[in-house]
Amino acid sequence: MMDLDDSDGAVEQTAPVWAVFGDLMSGLLGAFVLILLGVLVVQMDLVNSLQQEVAKRQQEEQRRMALEHALAVPLASGRVTLDNGRIGISGSVLFAAGSDELRPDGRQLLRSLVHPLRVYLGERHEMLMVSGFTDDKRLIQGSRQRFSDNLELSAQRALTVTRALIEEGMPSAQVFAAAFGAEQPVASNTDEAGRARNRRVEMAPVPRAAPPAAVPAPATTPIPARHD
């Protein structure tokens, strides 16, 4: 015959074990839920990043196609190139060696670019950056040499093209000049063919700077009139 006192003792001994086991399982379940939530958050971030990258690439492709369409005629002539959104013109098309004076054919080419570029820039609220580049060959100094180095030559050529575009109808607020000299070559300067490619002018549409936020006028408290 079972002793009731012994049975009660067994129940008292096993009850805490099940309580501890339940607490352990609850803790493990909570940890699993936290890990699952963390994985879901990471996956959502990755999906958002991927969607943003896809949208960015689609915008860049649409932008490239729009620019190609706008410059279809100049591009077909072979004297203008388009690479990654940069419009390239060989320096020999625009200028004589060591000169910043536009050739007549060069001005005619720039004239053909003004209208399509105005339409393109206006539709996208962008500006045109005109950049001058040279090869790395040092300029020969002499009485007829106007420029101290390649950077100065590239700057003056970029300014000449910028002014010509403005004279041919490009709004001055839509275009600006930049100079890089022998920096950022697109070919090796070890032979004449490469140096000829590096002597160039590039034009690239760039976003306009956001207008500065208006600063609210400080609030003023009217001064009551004094009554003597």
**At 14, is the secondary structure helix, strand, or coil?**
helix
Q: What is the mean pLDDT of residues 6-31?
A: 64
The predicted-structure confidence for 74-106, as pLDDT tens digits, reads as follows 888 888 999 888 999 999 999 998 889 999 999
Average pLDDT taken over every residue of the chain: 82
Enclosing H/E stretch for 201 = strand 200-207
Q: Does 157 score more than 90 pLDDT? A: yes
**At 188, is the secondary structure helix, strand, or coil?**
coil
Q: What is the mean pLDDT of residues 170-176?
A: 95
Query: Using CA atoms, how far apart are residues 186 and 4, in angstroms rounded to an integer?
Result: 97
Contact of 83 with 200, CB cutoff 8 Å: no
Q: What is the mean pLDDT of residues 145-162?
A: 92
Q: What is the mean pLDDT of residues 219-227?
A: 54
The closest alpha carbon to 171, from 106, 220, 125, 224, belongs to 125
Query: Using CA atoms, how far apart are residues 71 and 140, in angstroms rounded to an integer?
Result: 37
Q: According to the model, what pLDDT value does residue 18 have?
A: 63
Query: Using CA atoms, how far apart are residues 203 and 162, in angstroms rounded to an integer?
Result: 10
Q: According to the model, what pLDDT value does residue 181 have?
A: 94
Query: Using CA atoms, how far apart are residues 173 and 208, in angstroms rounded to an integer?
Result: 10
Q: Does 187 score more than 60 pLDDT? A: yes
Q: Does 111 score more than 60 pLDDT? A: yes
In this prediction, residue 51 has a pLDDT band, given cuts at 50, 70 and 90, of confident
Query: Using CA atoms, how far apart are residues 121 and 174, in angstroms rounded to an integer?
Result: 8
How far CA 180 is from CA of 15, 85, 198, in Å, comes to 82, 18, 11
How far CA 32 is from CA of 26, 27, 39, 102, 143, in Å, comes to 10, 9, 11, 72, 82
Contact of 136 with 183, CB cutoff 8 Å: no
The predicted-structure confidence for 38-50, as pLDDT tens digits, reads as follows 887 887 777 777 7
Q: According to the model, what pLDDT value does residue 59 have?
A: 64
Q: Which amino acid is at 35?
A: I
Q: Does 62 score more than 80 pLDDT? A: no
In this prediction, residue 8 has a pLDDT band, given cuts at 50, 70 and 90, of low
